Amino acid sequence: MDTLPARPATDPGYNFGYLDEQTKRMIRRALLKAVAIPGYQVPFGSREMPLPYGWGTGGIQITASIIGPADTLKVIDQGADDTTNAVSIRRFFARVAGVATTERTAVATIIQTRHRIPERPLSAGQILVYQVPQPEPLRQLEPREAEARKMHALADYGLMHVKLYEDIARFGRIATSYNYPVMVNGRYLMAPSPIPAFDNPKMHRMAALQLFGAGREKRIYAVPPHTEVQSLDFDDHPFKVWRADRCCDLCGAPDSYLDEVVTDDKGGRMFVCSDTDHCAERRGAGHRGPLAGHALQEIAEGKS
């Protein structure tokens, strides 16, 4: 883990942050508009990046447009810093922006994420950049973009309420466990990206700025600091979060989101924090879970 952020040399063949300054300016304009209209999807001239569409190009373009030499960048995928695509994106920015990178949530100024919000509450001045595969929360209900935009314009979200109601009628509960739709600032329905519903409450009145980039779909949206973000629900079926009903086997955290790691082919399982920095920090502070120090720890940390 980085303790003292190292500053690698940038690739001289590319502009700082890879994108040219005109493109950055175009993206910053879209970001300003997105911040001004929380939850509204702003179309932008998304560029091809040297990473494939669907692999974080929207988040990368936002990060490239806002990052400066003084920033410290953290990149996570599934909550972990050491997943291959997070490693690849972090290396990309080390190469084209020469910025310091870190795995510590607390010291990062920009955190680019896929599928998770860190467990540690973010503070004012930090920016959370989400990679978004599908920015349109209505897409599975209405595949036509022109129609979906009309529904947003009219704040006509009955279709989504009907979908949630049908879940309750069929299953007795809302059967959406990730990418759970939210209302932003009481106006726009928004896809929080495929974070688990467990993370939704963290978006509400978050002190950090939240930016969302969908490169392939060419949309940017934002939630400014301290904005109201409500998960859709009904009076008699209030929104509830779920997690595996146990504590982290490594650090003992009783309240973090857990990954289930299969340890053998006989039903063996262990549960560990999905947020690797959170887990390491707790262990560093002396917290111990039931399997701490066990050989299985190596499996959970991907060292096997």
Active-site annotation, residues: 39, 248, 251, 273, 279
Rounded Cα gap, residues 39 and 138, in angstroms: 13
Pairing of strands 188-190, 182-184: antiparallel
Sign of CA dihedral 110, 115, 119, 121: positive
Q: How many residues does the chain have?
A: 304
Which of residues 141 and 261 has its CB atom nearest to other proteins in the complex? 261
Tell whether residue 111 is a contact of other proteins (CB under 8 A). no
Tell whether residue 212 is a contact of other proteins (CB under 8 A). no
User: What does each C-alpha distance from 29 to 34, 110, 212 come to in angstroms?
Assistant: 9, 19, 14
Of 152, 202, 218, 282, which one interacts with other proteins (CB under 8 A)? 218
User: What does each C-alpha distance from 271 to 6, 116, 268, 286 come to in angstroms?
Assistant: 32, 17, 10, 19
| Structure token digits, residue 215 | 């490169």
Least distance in angstroms from the C-beta of 196 to other proteins: 4
Which of residues 71 and 259 has its CB atom nearest to other proteins in the complex? 259
Tell whether residue 194 is a contact of other proteins (CB under 8 A). yes
Which of residues 146 and 285 has its CB atom nearest to other proteins in the complex? 146
Residues 60-79 that bind other proteins (CB under 8 A): 77-79
Query: Are 81 and 118 contacting, i.e. CB atoms less than 8 angstroms apart?
Result: no
Query: Are 276 and 80 contacting, i.e. CB atoms less than 8 angstroms apart?
Result: yes
Tell whether residue 303 is a contact of other proteins (CB under 8 A). yes
Least distance in angstroms from the C-beta of 35 to other proteins: 19
Rounded Cα gap, residues 104 and 136, in angstroms: 31
Of 2, 33, 37, 53, which one interacts with other proteins (CB under 8 A)? 53
Least distance in angstroms from the C-beta of 14 to other proteins: 7
Which of residues 74 and 116 has its CB atom nearest to other proteins in the complex? 116
Query: Of 2-10, 65-73, 172-180, 222-230, which segment contacts other proteins by CB under 8 A?
Result: 172-180
The site for other proteins (CB under 8 A) is made up of: 14, 18, 20, 23, 43-50, 52-55, 57, 77-80, 82-85, 87-88, 91, 114-116, 133, 143-146, 171-173, 175, 177-179, 194-198, 216, 218-219, 242-244, 257-262, 274, 299-304
